[in-house]
Chains A and B, each alone.
Chain A
Amino acid sequence: MSTPNERELVEFGERLSRYRKIAPRPEFRAELRSSLLAGPVSLESPRASRLGWSRVFAVRPALAAIFILVLLATAGGVAAASSLPGDPAYGLKRAVEEVQVTLTSDDIVRLDTLVTQSDRRLADLETLVARRSSAIGFGTDEYAAAAVRVDDVLGRVVASPASSQRDAALARASAASTDHLARLEALATRLPEAAQRGIQRAIEVQQRVHGKSNLAPGRSGIPIAPTPGRGGPPSGVPGRP
């Protein structure tokens, strides 16, 4: 049994419920949502050890490289390498790719790495579409996020001083974006309605990448060399390492 004083306090507490309507600004809510969707993936492992591997990665790139090699040599690593968006091992594959980006020495190498990764995401998406997977939406988001990261680094490479390495990397990015745009247009005709918005967004990003990679000052007549891994089968195709 509550005392009269307790009842009064409970009634007072119930009157506080009128303040439950407080909500964040819609602009803030939308911005945060976008950053969560487009941001880089986690490096935290499912079972964090006492050593704090993420900290080791941050200060010892060589150890991180060894970790990747060991990981890829194990059965779990093989499973992760062939995983597709939506698979349980996919997070591990992305974590490994994230380490690969972390290990790049400069923006030019980083651009090549990210272009290669966006190639993989597109190949993954094509596999998901071919399999009529329920993870097509996720695969589209993953591709779009990869393209945004290419776009970000591309901006810095375009602004960097002209050099043969820079121009070659830009030429590869340009060739990749041409290839991607054609494949995305083909995919758009086969994607379900729910994924159309995502694919259109991805096409817009690729168009931006294409325009940017062709407009770099001082760039002309660079032969287009194929990007490592570009145009190959998706990472989820059986038999692919």
Chain B
Amino acid sequence: MGTPELNDPDASSDKQVDEQDLARRAASGDRRAFAALYDRHVDAVYRYAYFRLRIDAEAEDVTSEVFHRALLAMPRFEPRRPFLAFLYTIARNVVTDRIRRERPQASFEDALAHPSDVPGPEELASASDDVRRLRSAVARLTTLQQEVIVLRYLEGRSTKETAVVIGKPESTIRGIQMRALAALRDLLGDLSP
């Protein structure tokens, strides 16, 4: 994770060619090739959903939906496009739909007021305190800030890669990133090194 292969044609060219070949085969119906792409990217997609949502089971649901949608859309996939950008685009849509459908206008404070939205004992036990604090803080950022923080710092994508996924210029991403970091630091305080 955190490698710059998403959109840099000069980086890890062997891996990229290999990925393009896998994507081409997957687009022609080769599910073994699709499974290889899944193995490469499932962690990244899960992490994206995990930090954009607050409940572990929801992150799993989103991850599952993303890959099933991707499988359906493979015949239309353009193999020269970075596959992870394709997955992130689907993940953004799935997460957005889910938030809109389940919590139409909820703020984080609203969520705390609704027991059904609060992580259950299993989730609480499985996530360490600081991870839960971070997820809660990320949830209080604007949608764009959340996406930039998750992609840039929790996924380790470059500004350029993040710009491709979000569809905004790199300069805009940098601006959002600094505002998001400032807001997050206000919420979390300085994280101990």
Chain A contact residues, CB within 8 Å of chain B: 6, 9-10, 12-17, 19-20, 22-25, 28-29, 32-33, 35-37, 39, 41-48, 85-91, 94, 135, 137-138, 141-142, 145
Inter-chain contacts of A17 with B (CB < 8 A): 2, 153-154, 156
B75 to chain A, nearest CB (A): 4
Which of A13, A25, A46, A85: most chain B Cβ within 10 A?
Answer: A13
Inter-chain contacts of B181 with A (CB < 8 A): 9-10, 12-13
User: Per-residue 0/1 for B66-103: is the Cβ within 8 Å of any A Cβ (1 yes, 0 no)?
Assistant: 01100111111000000000000000000000000000
Asked if B47 contacts A16 (CB within 8 A), the reply is no
Question: What residue in chain A is nearest B190 (Cβ atoms)?
Answer: A12
Question: What number of B residues sit within 8 Å (CB to CB) of A?
Answer: 49
B177 to chain A, nearest CB (A): 7
B1 to chain A, nearest CB (A): 6
Among candidates A12, A20, A48, A88, residue contacting B47 with C-beta atoms closer than 8 Å: A20
15 more A-B residue pairs beyond the given contacts A32-B67, A138-B30, with a C-beta to C-beta distance below 8 A: A15-B193, A20-B156, A22-B50, A23-B46, A24-B42, A33-B38, A37-B31, A42-B73, A45-B75, A46-B76, A91-B27, A94-B29, A137-B32, A142-B31, A145-B31
B168 is an interface residue with CB less than 8 A from chain A: no
In the complex, which residues 12-70 of chain B have their Cβ closer than 8 Å to any Cβ of chain A? 25, 27-35, 38-39, 42-43, 46-47, 50-51, 59-60, 63-64, 67-68
- In Å, the complex CA distance between A25 and B122 comes to 13
Inter-chain contacts of A6 with B (CB < 8 A): 178
Contact A44-B72, Cβ < 8 Å, known A29-B42, A37-B32, A87-B28: yes
Among candidates B50, B73, B177, B193, residue contacting A13 with C-beta atoms closer than 8 Å: B177
- In Å, the complex CA distance between A90 and B26 comes to 11
Contact A20-B152, Cβ < 8 Å, known A9-B178, A13-B177, A44-B76: no
Asked if B185 contacts A39 (CB within 8 A), the reply is no
- In Å, the complex CA distance between A37 and B39 comes to 12
Chain B contact residues, CB within 8 Å of chain A: 1-2, 25, 27-35, 38-39, 42-43, 46-47, 50-51, 59-60, 63-64, 67-68, 71-76, 131, 134, 149, 152-156, 177-178, 181-182, 184-185, 190-191, 193
Inter-chain contacts of A12 with B (CB < 8 A): 181, 184-185, 190-191
Asked if B191 contacts A42 (CB within 8 A), the reply is no
Asked if A20 contacts B46 (CB within 8 A), the reply is no
Question: What residue in chain B is nearest A88 (Cβ atoms)?
Answer: B28
B118 to chain A, nearest CB (A): 20
Asked if B32 contacts A141 (CB within 8 A), the reply is yes
- In Å, the complex CA distance between A37 and B71 comes to 10
Contact A28-B50, Cβ < 8 Å, known A12-B181, A90-B29: no
- In Å, the complex CA distance between A42 and B155 comes to 30
Contact A135-B134, Cβ < 8 Å, known A20-B156, A32-B64, A42-B74: no
Asked if A85 contacts B30 (CB within 8 A), the reply is yes
- In Å, the complex CA distance between A20 and B134 comes to 12
Among candidates A9, A45, A87, residue contacting B185 with C-beta atoms closer than 8 Å: A9
Among candidates B35, B68, B75, B193, residue contacting A44 with C-beta atoms closer than 8 Å: B75
Inter-chain contacts of A142 with B (CB < 8 A): 31
Asked if A36 contacts B67 (CB within 8 A), the reply is yes
Asked if A138 contacts B31 (CB within 8 A), the reply is yes
A55 to chain B, nearest CB (A): 13
